[in-house]
Amino acid sequence: MTMLHATKEPVVNAVAVQTFQSQLRGVLLRPGDAGYDGARTIWNGMIDKHPALTARCAGTADVVTAVNFARENELPLSVRGGGHNVAGLAVCDADLMMTCR
């Protein structure tokens, strides 16, 4: 079975990730994808977190889909708005990070 490995645990089944991606109107980014590093970068350059997946939500339905995916796969969930939180709470390691475009 193929698994998706983030920089740290958890591990998410690749089939579940593909299904999730097909349900999004927005873009799903993984480590190594074009745009991944830009999506995870926040204002505080001292914060260098690596989410397992980044969902660039295109609307309310994508947000609901992302929350459900995180819950069903026991992934921590972070929400990145403007990325200006000095403590870096908008992004976590090995989680599903949601952004809106």
Residue 1 has pLDDT above 50, yes or no: no
The residues spanned by each domain of the chain are 3-100
Residue closest to 100 by CA, chosen among 85, 90, 87:
90
Architecture category of domain 3-100 in CATH:
2-Layer Sandwich (3.30)
Residue closest to 30 by CA, chosen among 88, 78, 95, 75:
95
pLDDT in tens, 20-35: 999 999 999 999 999 9
Higher-confidence residue of 31 and 84: namely: 31
Residue 42 has pLDDT above 50, yes or no: yes
Residue 57 corresponds to which tokens in the numbers above? 């939500």
